[in-house]
Structure 1
Amino acid sequence: MTKKLLTGALLAAVVLLAAAWGLAPVLTGQALIRAARAGDAQKLEQLVDFPALRDSLKDELQQELVRRVGDDPRLAERGLGALGMMLAPMILEGAVDAVVTPEVLARMVNTAEAPDPTRPAPPEPGDAKDGRDIHQAWGYRDLNHFAVTLTDRDHPDQHLALILERRGLFRWQLAAIDLQSEGN
């Protein structure tokens, strides 16, 4: 009887541990969205690895810039494309460092839009959506990366994926942004 009880308790502990391990990024993602909607900058500071997030956003924006320059042959023909491509990393670096703050992250989550580093001014107070028309999709990318993909129902071809990274056994932090558009 005690052997069956011990085996049952051990099995229950393993199941609970596996459930906690698998649900940890979902709970973190929900906490991130609640903090963003509430404008809780202190909670966002805990849930986000801002240096990693800024690096990710710089990479995403540089890739988008390269894509746009490649799509517009007029820029390449005039030589402005090459000059722009040389200057873009420096400009993006400073702009992203200045723009990616808890407040801007909250706006990103509430609107499913990445910040525009060419427009560092904060949005107008009534400009942000309340999140009701934002579709959320949740899923693992691999064992250490979990994506919360946000899509504004008014712009279903554009997606913003918040990439949570595992930081230990049960702890997760937002560490990357994946800007997605259909056709990219």
Structure 2
Amino acid sequence: MTKRLLIGVALAAVVLFAAAWGLAPIFAGQALIKAAKAGDARKLEQLVDFPALRASLKDELNHELARRMSRDPRVAESGLGGLGMMLAPMILSGAIDTAVTPEVIAQMVTTAEAPDPTRRSPPEPGDARDDKDIHQAWGYRDLNHFAVTLTDRDHPDQHLALILERRGLFRWQLAAVDLGAEAE
């Protein structure tokens, strides 16, 4: 009987550990969304790895900018198009470094849109859409990356995936975005 009890307790402990390990990113994602909607900058600073997020945004926006510039015939035909493609990442980098703040993260979560680094003023709290307009899809990308894909119901073809990365066994932080994410 003692052996069965020990096996039962050990099995229950393993199941509880696995459940906590698997559900941790969901709780972190919910905390991120709740803090963003409440405008809790202090909580957002704990839930976001800002250097990693800035690097991810730079990569995503530079890729998008290069894609758009290569499609634009005015840029392709112009001799200055190449210069613009060289200078744009540097300008974009500086803008992202100063623009990505807890307030901008809150704006991303509530509007399902990437930040606009050319915007000079901080986002207004009234700019947020109704919570019911944002569809959320949750899912693992791999064991250490979890995506919360946000889609504005008014623009169902545009998705913004917030990528949470594992930091230890149970801690997760927003560390990247995927602007071209497919809905889960």
Relative to the length of structure 1, the TM-score reads 0.96
- Structure 1 distance, partners of 2:113, 2:149, is 11
Aligned to 2:167: 167
C-alpha contact (below 8 Å) 1:157/1:181 kept by paired residues: no
Q: Are 1:59 and 2:59 counterparts?
A: yes
RMSD of equivalent CA atoms: 1.2
- Structure 2 distance, partners of 1:31, 1:84, is 40
4+ long deviations beyond 6 Å: none
Q: CA deviation at 1:124?
A: 3.8
Provide closer, same or farther for how the CA distance between residues 181 and 149 of structure 1 changes in structure 2, counting only shifts above 3 A: closer
- Structure 2 distance, partners of 1:181, 1:120, is 27
Give the paired residue count. 182
For 2:8, the aligned partner's letter is G
Superposed CA deviations along residues 132-172 of structure 1, whole A, max 9, x for unmatched, are: 21000000000000000000000011010000000001111
Provide closer, same or farther for how the CA distance between residues 148 and 66 of structure 1 changes in structure 2, counting only shifts above 3 A: same
The range that moved more, 38-47 or 124-133, is 124-133
Aligned to 1:21: 21
- Structure 1 distance, partners of 2:125, 2:110, is 13
C-alpha contact (below 8 Å) 1:95/1:120 kept by paired residues: no
Q: CA deviation at 1:15?
A: 0.3
Q: CA deviation at 1:18?
A: 0.3
Aligned to 1:12: 12
Unaligned runs of 5+ in 2: none
Provide closer, same or farther for how the CA distance between residues 15 and 181 of structure 1 changes in structure 2, counting only shifts above 3 A: closer
Q: Are 1:44 and 2:80 counterparts?
A: no
Aligned to 2:141: 141
Aligned to 2:126: 126
- Structure 2 distance, partners of 1:20, 1:136, is 21
- Structure 1 distance, partners of 2:78, 2:26, is 48
What secondary structure does 2:90 align onto? helix
- Structure 1 distance, partners of 2:44, 2:57, is 17
C-alpha contact (below 8 Å) 1:150/1:160 kept by paired residues: yes
C-alpha contact (below 8 Å) 1:112/1:151 kept by paired residues: yes
For 2:177, the aligned partner's letter is I
Aligned to 1:91: 91
Provide closer, same or farther for how the CA distance between residues 181 and 141 of structure 1 changes in structure 2, counting only shifts above 3 A: closer
- Structure 1 distance, partners of 2:77, 2:46, is 47
Unaligned runs of 5+ in 1: none
Q: CA deviation at 1:123?
A: 2.9
- Structure 2 distance, partners of 1:54, 1:116, is 13
Q: Are 1:108 and 2:72 counterparts?
A: no
